[in-house]
A and B are shown apart, each in its own frame.
Chain A
């Protein structure tokens, strides 16, 4: 194996571990630790996906209104809200379980673009539960020995969301 291939291989394993660790934190309700994985200037964006003629037209556009569009400060507000005892969409808490896969790492050095797919199950009270399915495009930034999420784009594959979004993706 060449040095470059070895580097890519190790990098991919490192990034996968990072994403799996992140998934575990959310599913275990360890939201404070989860939030620390985001850079202070992080941006979180989940656009509305439309059904249009022609594939090239169907990419969501920046500057239009989105399902979620915020920085770390508002993500922190969401956590505060969940702890308020009055966030009824998450009271009692939903059980979530997510599978992250098809991880692809682009770039090298201190900033990477990482593609991944996810299937997320949300079990709510005694209901059957709902699935959210989509892909993510993350921009990861090296910070010390680890990584921070500088940007997360979440592209859901649902035209009509199965329910309002009260869980993190």
Chain B
């Protein structure tokens, strides 16, 4: 791997440990604003974790590609000749500029617009203009391919990459307990999941962790931040939607897990909108979950939302809801780019697909009635924490301290907690601290 840019003042291990005390639920405001903390995160978190890049349905055919990023490093995700997936640093080995300047497409070669160097789908350097005349044969093309991210893996269509050569396997990182839940939307689709339309992108002037930790199970904010949705009848009363949260190893967490049985009830209620076709769809979806997963999973299929540390969050509420996938792309300690895709069952009836798609636009997206309120509140945190006194104060993550993971519901894996607890946040910062202090 290329030499890292190390321009930040080194924070000592003791200094980092003073910033967070996960067991007591203490997180210093500096964690969200300090440029040195941020630089260290890019190195110790984003270069050491499995980062989410996109979904396989975005690149179905050889040569299909889309642009993405790991931390602030731009990458290209490409489907190769034999269906394999390459993740390449989007930077010409000659003068560094991005060789891919579009969002997505299909190509046999990425050609640098500066001097014309051309790279194959697997990143190898194919073409150098005037190679013989200008370089006198002194250019080893085989050593000058686009830098490849060494570890690339998919889990049921979700594409991840990791710069760390010694990374644990993706499935181990995701943990079987977490995937027991996320398998519901990934497996439930009768005809497979497919992305519907482009990546939606917008900015929030905030720190990436505020969005990431929120999806890890901050069900508490829903009552206030999204209070308007209840007031206008866009959401049923919250206690009818979900009951538990859960956290997992490696910083992952999720919220809005419903009591077994509740999900089917909610879906059948919604099915009335579509008539018999809707009821049939609910039944087929549940049948599939029971056959391919388990009875218990089918009973709680209405969940929920979650966060795969560090940069992927997901949301899904029942079989009429799309699977929304968010990637959090940090752009400095106080700037975040949200990338969001929307996936749905390719075999769902058109009317249901249409409903699911527009519902997501109206709900948890850039122009929906949830997204803007979250963004506004995260910005207000970041604005306040810029102050010397405010930024140096400790924030409170202590709800439910002493009761982490103590809830037990038969058949539900993970460390369960009640609907309202900050146990998942503490788990998030426990893992954050572990990575940040691993030299």
Known: A46-B367, A86-B224, A88-B376. A160 touches B202 (CB 8 A): yes
Complex CA gap A161/B366 in Å reads: 8
A84: B residues at CB distance < 8 A: 227-228, 231-232
Per a CB cutoff under 8 Å, which of B204, B322, B358, B383 touches A163?
B204
Establish whether residues B204 and A88, one from each chain, have CB atoms under 8 Å apart when the complex forms: no
Known: A50-B198, A164-B375. A87 touches B228 (CB 8 A): yes
Known: A68-B361, A163-B203. A78 touches B369 (CB 8 A): yes
B337: A residues at CB distance < 8 A: 160
A48 contacts the other chain (Cβ, under 8 Å)? Answer: yes
Establish whether residues B373 and A89, one from each chain, have CB atoms under 8 Å apart when the complex forms: yes
- A45-73 at interface with B (beta carbon < 8 Å): 46, 48, 50-53, 60-61, 63-70
A81 contacts the other chain (Cβ, under 8 Å)? Answer: yes
B105 contacts the other chain (Cβ, under 8 Å)? Answer: yes
Establish whether residues B202 and A70, one from each chain, have CB atoms under 8 Å apart when the complex forms: no
B200 contacts the other chain (Cβ, under 8 Å)? Answer: yes
A69: B residues at CB distance < 8 A: 357-358, 361-362
Interface residues on A, range: 35 or more
Known: A64-B197, A69-B358, A160-B202. A86 touches B227 (CB 8 A): yes
B348: A residues at CB distance < 8 A: none
B125 contacts the other chain (Cβ, under 8 Å)? Answer: no
Complex CA gap A90/B234 in Å reads: 18
Establish whether residues B232 and A80, one from each chain, have CB atoms under 8 Å apart when the complex forms: yes
B342 contacts the other chain (Cβ, under 8 Å)? Answer: yes
B369: A residues at CB distance < 8 A: 77-78, 81, 87
DSSP class of A's interface residues: helix, strand, loop or mixed? Answer: loop
A48: B residues at CB distance < 8 A: 197-200
A166 contacts the other chain (Cβ, under 8 Å)? Answer: yes
Establish whether residues A70 and B197, one from each chain, have CB atoms under 8 Å apart when the complex forms: no
Complex CA gap A90/B369 in Å reads: 11
Interface residues on B, range: 35 or more
The stretch that binds A, out of B96-104, B178-186, B427-435, is B96-104
CB of A88, distance to nearest CB on chain B (Å): 5
Establish whether residues B362 and A70, one from each chain, have CB atoms under 8 Å apart when the complex forms: yes
Per a CB cutoff under 8 Å, which of B225, B227, B322, B371 touches A164?
B371
B192 contacts the other chain (Cβ, under 8 Å)? Answer: no
CB of B378, distance to nearest CB on chain A (Å): 10
A162 contacts the other chain (Cβ, under 8 Å)? Answer: yes
Establish whether residues A51 and B357, one from each chain, have CB atoms under 8 Å apart when the complex forms: no
A20 contacts the other chain (Cβ, under 8 Å)? Answer: no
Closest to B202 in A: A161
B196 contacts the other chain (Cβ, under 8 Å)? Answer: yes
Establish whether residues B375 and A65, one from each chain, have CB atoms under 8 Å apart when the complex forms: no
Known: A50-B198, A164-B367. A81 touches B342 (CB 8 A): no
B377 contacts the other chain (Cβ, under 8 Å)? Answer: yes
Proximity bits, B220-259, A CB within 8 Å = 1, else 0 = 0000110111011010000000000000000000000000
Establish whether residues A161 and B201, one from each chain, have CB atoms under 8 Å apart when the complex forms: yes
Proximity bits, B133-146, A CB within 8 Å = 1, else 0 = 00000000000000
Known: A50-B198, A164-B366. A65 touches B101 (CB 8 A): no
A87: B residues at CB distance < 8 A: 228, 369, 373
A104: B residues at CB distance < 8 A: none
Complex CA gap A7/B155 in Å reads: 63
Closest to A90 in B: B372
Establish whether residues A67 and B361, one from each chain, have CB atoms under 8 Å apart when the complex forms: yes
A29 contacts the other chain (Cβ, under 8 Å)? Answer: no
A163: B residues at CB distance < 8 A: 202-205, 372, 375
A70: B residues at CB distance < 8 A: 358, 361-362
B361: A residues at CB distance < 8 A: 65-70
A61: B residues at CB distance < 8 A: 197
CB of A115, distance to nearest CB on chain B (Å): 22
Known: A70-B362, A84-B232. A162 touches B103 (CB 8 A): no
Complex CA gap A48/B202 in Å reads: 11
B360 contacts the other chain (Cβ, under 8 Å)? Answer: yes
A86: B residues at CB distance < 8 A: 224, 227-228, 231
Complex CA gap A85/B337 in Å reads: 28
Complex CA gap A68/B101 in Å reads: 26
Establish whether residues B232 and A65, one from each chain, have CB atoms under 8 Å apart when the complex forms: no
Establish whether residues A68 and B367, one from each chain, have CB atoms under 8 Å apart when the complex forms: yes
B365 contacts the other chain (Cβ, under 8 Å)? Answer: yes
Known: A68-B367, A163-B203. A53 touches B105 (CB 8 A): yes
CB of A127, distance to nearest CB on chain B (Å): 8
CB of B390, distance to nearest CB on chain A (Å): 16
Per a CB cutoff under 8 Å, which of A63, A77, A127, A164 touches B372?
A164
Establish whether residues A65 and B342, one from each chain, have CB atoms under 8 Å apart when the complex forms: yes
Complex CA gap A159/B357 in Å reads: 20
Closest to B357 in A: A65
Residues of B within 8 A of A (CB): 101-105, 196-205, 224-225, 227-229, 231-232, 234, 322, 337, 342, 354, 357-358, 360-362, 365-367, 369, 371-373, 375-377, 383
Question: Can you name 26 A-B pairs with beta carbons within 8 Å?
Answer: A48-B197, A48-B199, A50-B103, A50-B198, A51-B102, A63-B196, A64-B197, A64-B198, A65-B196, A65-B200, A65-B322, A65-B342, A65-B360, A66-B197, A68-B362, A69-B357, A74-B362, A81-B228, A87-B373, A88-B373, A89-B375, A162-B202, A163-B372, A163-B375, A164-B371, A164-B375
Other contacts beyond A67-B361, A160-B337: 4, CB < 8 A: A81-B228, A84-B227, A159-B103, A164-B372
Shortest Cβ-Cβ A-B pairs, 8 listed:
A64-B197, A89-B372, A86-B227, A161-B202, A164-B372, A165-B367, A86-B228, A166-B372
